[in-house]
Amino acid sequence: MSSRDGGASIHGTCIAVGGHGVLLFGAPGSGKSDLALRLIDTDGRGTGPERLTAQLVADDQVVLAARGGRLIARAPDALAGRLEVRGLGIVSVAYLEEAPVLCAARLDGTAAPERLPDFSQRTATLCGIAIPELALDARAPSAPAVIRAAVIAFAGAGRQGFGTT
């Protein structure tokens, strides 16, 4: 579906971790919003990767656009600053208006994540920009730490995606 600014609207969630956008994809009920809440809630605790701050960019629908060779994510106006919390409903949270997307996480609790994935082969291409895509069980206790470690790994490698296709 196209958005008003020429981008694409997709079903998913986007969290900015240390200023880098992470797209969360998966079937309804796969844990996208819950993982986003856990990332935001653990903000600033600990001594390792968990110290990276996390902020909501978009929940349920994400508007994507290519800009300057980068994939940019934002929330549709009607959903900005809104996060679904199961058992509570839709709540208002602090959010970033947009974030450059660094990577994607496909949430699937049925398959074990690959032990040593080859991210040059494992990519998602959105709006003509290829980004690394990891597989993750959102309900695993380590899921927020895995997301933060992925941001450190991909940002540290100087990757802002793998370029245009």
Q: Show pLDDT as tens, one digit a residue, over the chain (165 residues).
A: 334 445 789 999 999 999 999 999 999 989 999 999 999 976 555 555 556 789 999 999 999 999 999 999 999 999 999 999 989 999 999 999 999 999 999 998 766 666 766 666 788 899 999 999 999 999 999 899 999 999 999 998 654 444 443
Pull the structure tokens for residue 136. 């993750």
41 is catalytic: no
Which pLDDT belongs to residue 110? 67
Active site residue 11: yes
Active site annotation includes 20: no
Q: For residues 96 and 25, give the distance between their C-alpha atoms in angstroms, rounded to a whole number.
A: 19
Catalytically annotated residue among 5, 11, 41, 86: 11
Q: State the Cα–Cα distance between residues 29 and 24, nearest whole angstrom.
A: 12
Strand partners of residue 133: 104
Q: What is the pLDDT of residue 1?
A: 34
Q: Which residue ranges make up each domain of the chain?
A: 8-164
Cut 0.95: pTM above it: no
Residues constituting the chain: 165
Q: Packing angle between helix 143-156 and helix 32-41, nearest 10 degrees?
A: 80
What is the pLDDT, as a whole number, of residue 42?
64
Q: Which of 32, 74, 106, 148 is catalytic?
A: 32
- At the second CATH level, the architecture of 8-164 is 3-Layer(aba) Sandwich (3.40)
The conformation of residue 116, written as its DSSP 8-state character, comes to: S
Quote the pLDDT of residue 68. 94
Q: Which of 43, 60, 122, 159 is catalytic?
A: 60
Which of the residues 4, 45, 77, 115 is marked catalytic?
115
Select from 104, 75, 86, 93 the least CA-distant residue to 34: 86
Which pLDDT does position 117 carry in this prediction?
62
115 is catalytic: yes
What's the pLDDT score for residue 2?
38
